[in-house]
Amino acid sequence: MADLSTNFIGIKSPNPFWLASAPPTDKAYNVERAFEAGWGGVVWKTLGEAGPPVVNVNGPRYGAIWGPDRRLLGLNNIELITDRDLEVNLREIAEVKRRWPDRAMVVSIMVPCEEQSWKAILPRVEDTGADGIELNFGCPHGMSERGMGAAVGQVPEYIQMVAEWCKHYSKMPVIVKLTPNITDIRYPARAAKAGGADAVSLINTISSIVSVDLDNFAPVPTIDGKGSHGGYCGPAVKPIALNMVAEIARDGETRGLPISGIGGVQTWRDAAEFIALGCGTVQVCTAAMTYGFKIVQEMTQGLSDWMDEKGYATIADFQGRAVPNVTDWQYLNLNYITKARIDQDLCIKCGRCHIACEDTSHQAITSMVDGVRHFEVMDDECVGCNLCVNVCPVDDCITMVEMTVGSDPRTGKPIDPRYANWTTHPNNPMAKEAAE
């Protein structure tokens, strides 16, 4: 059995699955249930300053998009940080940590961007016995209007400054949670590192309007006829999160900075992908909010089974293994040639591959052969784009097969086994200049 335990910047947990700071971690009741179900750790729902807590809307706070069978693909929310009293939260954090010493207890914090505010709250959190803190620089709605959350996360100088305060006023490991609502994720990550943060976590939610109610012409969720943008999360955001994680993992300045991966993790496989891109833990919110805490058991067992199958004894054995393979387009091998292949035994003859290729790509799939409905790839037209693979409803029915010998029937050119990329390609004007 693979060992799933992790030690992330000194914070230990029996498995890498943490619940992200969100409603599932807003009170002792939920967190206890999560630990009972098997979650390795939690990031407690973001705490604000002492005094009267923030208030939430009293109408709907969520909106969603769905796939077939109303499977939730993307969730949007306009919820703020915790609306419970700071004292109550701190007391519960301390109690839960005492009862579950082996689980990671990280506390998310968002207070105004003033040294005094941070100085005031940090010792209080430290007193709970929490394992670390996460600075919420990500919330894109509501809090950002008050100069917090994403409003800080979008200014690298502020990130660095607050991280420095945190390292100065506390001994706890500091994780900076990044907002994706920014053009280049490397800048805030570099700032976090420069400020002395021990790790970054990403992504927080993406600014979004999830849909428009066509009866009253207002964004959803609608509060008394009006809506405001919310934060988007769930399976739909995973690709964006993976890219941002990869950017940080391979950036010269931040390489090696510990990352807690967040965004759309639904299964063990999603988690394994984040870890392969360098993450030490993953955080989950929407999957738990959709299915309840029990899903963690699929995640831990699935990851463990896969690691056993692959012969990885610990998380570290495959952590970051995909990072060296993330590169820029210009370095991709232009001599690598693939053709789509349809497994006729699996094909159910829906014709989707044909019409996708015919109408929108390269006219490379038959629909009729000798008067019979038959879908087959014509190698002399196939550019190997992979679209048909993605539209086919049957798993593994169409695969991309590499051509290693002979010539490409589409171009007539012999297969060149050598690696050659755009930087040296004759059609690249820059390449010519460089050569001259």
Please report, as ranges, the residues that interact with ligand FMN according to CB under 6 A.
20-23, 45-46, 75, 77, 79, 81, 108, 136, 138-139, 177, 204-205, 233-234, 237, 262-265, 284-287
CB of 57 to ligand FMN, least distance (A): 12
Q: Which of 113, 139, 279, 382 is catalytic?
A: 139
Give the three-state DSSP class for 120: helix
The Cα–Cα gap between 282 and 268 comes to 10
Tokens 């292949």 belong to 341
* Closer CB to ligand SF4, 116 or 344, in the complex: 344
Per partner kind, with CB cut-offs from 5 to 8 A, the member of other proteins, ligand FMN, ligand SF4, none near residue 362 is: ligand SF4
375 forms part of the interface with ligand SF4 (CB under 6 A): yes
Closest CA to 403 of 354, 332, 341: 341
Using CB under 6 A as the binding rule, whether residue 361 contacts ligand SF4 is answered as yes
Q: Is the peptide bond before 203 cis (omega within 30 degrees of 0)?
A: yes
Contacting range for ligand SF4; rule: CB under 6 A; set: 3-11, 17-25, 235-243, 355-363: 355-363
Phi, psi of 34 (to 5 degrees): -65, -45
349 binds ligand SF4 (CB under 6 A): yes
The tokens describing 314, both together, are 């610990």
Residue whose structure tokens are 């393979």: 325
> Which tokens sit at 204?
């927080």
Q: How many Å apart are CA 338 and CA 414, to the nearest integer?
A: 13
Q: In the complex, which residues of this chain contact other proteins (CB under 8 A)?
A: 68-70, 348-352, 354-355, 367, 373, 393-394
- Of 93 and 340, CB closest to other proteins: 340
When asked if residue 362 is in the footprint of ligand SF4 (CB under 6 A), the reply is yes
Which CB atom, from 158 or from 375, has the smaller least distance to ligand SF4? Answer: 375
Residue 341 beta carbon to ligand SF4: minimum distance, rounded to whole angstroms? 9
Query: What is the rounded CA–CA span in Å between residue 403 and residue 205?
Result: 42
Known active-site residue 166? no
Q: How far is the CB of 364 from ligand SF4 (least distance, A)?
A: 4
Of 178-197, binders to ligand SF4 (CB under 6 A) are none
Of residues 195 and 234, the one with the C-beta less far from ligand FMN: 234
Q: State yes or no: residue 113 binds ligand SF4 (CB under 6 A).
A: no
Length of the chain: 436
Q: Which of 234, 175, 186, 226 is nearest to 206 (CA)?
A: 234
**Spatial separation of the C-alpha atoms in residues 191 and 209, rounded to whole Å:** 29
Task: Establish whether the linkage from the previous residue to 221 is cis, with ω within 30° of 0.
Answer: yes
Q: Whole-number minimum distance, CB 392 to ligand SF4, in Å?
A: 3
DSSP H/E element including 11: strand 11-13
Cβ of residue 211: shortest distance to other proteins, in angstroms? 12
Residue 148's closest CA among 103, 180, 179?
179
Cα-flanking dihedrals φ and ψ of residue 50, to 5°? Answer: -65, 160
Comparing CB distances to other proteins, the nearer of 393 and 412 is 393
Count interface residues toward ligand SF4 (CB under 6 A): 27
In the complex with ligand SF4, the residue whose CB is nearer, 194 or 350, is 350
Residues pairing with 47 in the sheet:
109
Output the furthest CA–CA distance in the chain (Å, rounded).
80
Enclosing H/E stretch for 302: helix 295-310
Which does residue 20 bind out of ligand FMN, ligand SF4, other proteins, none, counting CB within 5 to 8 angstroms by kind?
ligand FMN
Which of 323, 334, 383, 431 binds ligand SF4 (CB under 6 A)? It is 383
Query: Which residues are part of the catalytic machinery?
Result: 139
Q: What are the residues binding ligand SF4 (CB under 6 A)?
A: 340, 342, 347-353, 357, 361-362, 364-365, 375, 377, 382-388, 392, 394, 397-398
